[in-house]
Amino acid sequence: MSESELPAIDATAFATLEEIADGDNEFMAELLNQYLTDAVQLIDVLAPALESSNALDLERAAHTLKSSSANVGAMTLSDLCEDLQCIGRSGDLGEAASKVPLAIAEYARVCDELKARLEKL
């Protein structure tokens, strides 16, 4: 199954987040909105870091986005960011040229899904 065929948000991981929120829709909305606010800033670092061959910026942004994405159930995005983190750590950004656009596209899918879920809260 390709990454685009996987759900943007893993149902099991999101259910865990909902359990933590324990029915508090305001808290859940706050978590999701904070993710959306923070993630856009991180995703906006990836392409410029690649273009300027800044492996450290790529690694740091990918690391933070990996963790926060996993927290909201965006497992495909988290996996892509883990790859980018490793690429950044290696200093050889050759593979990043194909991964950064995938991460940006996956981020768009995640945003759409989370915004749809926010509307239902």
Please list the alpha-helical segments (H only) found in 1-121.
11-21, 25-51, 55-71, 75-90, 96-120
What pLDDT, on the 0 to 100 scale, is given for residue 41? 97
Instruction: Domain of residue 80: give its range.
Output: 7-120
Distances (CA, A) of 103 to 18, 25, 28, 39, 65: 25, 28, 24, 11, 10
How many distinct structural domains can be found in the chain?
1
What pLDDT, on the 0 to 100 scale, is given for residue 3? 62
What pLDDT, on the 0 to 100 scale, is given for residue 4? 62
45 occurs within a structural domain: yes
1 occurs within a structural domain: no
Distance (Å, whole) CA 51 – CA 21: 39
pLDDT tens, the chain, 121 aa long: 566 689 999 999 999 999 999 999 999 999 999 999 999 999 999 999 999 999 999 999 999 999 999 999 999 999 999 999 999 999 999 999 999 999 999 999 999 999 999 999 9
42 occurs within a structural domain: yes
**CATH code for position 16:** 1.20.120.160
Cα–Cα–Cα angle for 33, 48, 57, rounded to 5 degrees:
75
13 occurs within a structural domain: yes
89 occurs within a structural domain: yes
2 occurs within a structural domain: no
What pLDDT, on the 0 to 100 scale, is given for residue 5? 82
DSSP 5: G
Distance (Å, whole) CA 46 – CA 89: 14
pTM for this model (two decimals): 0.94
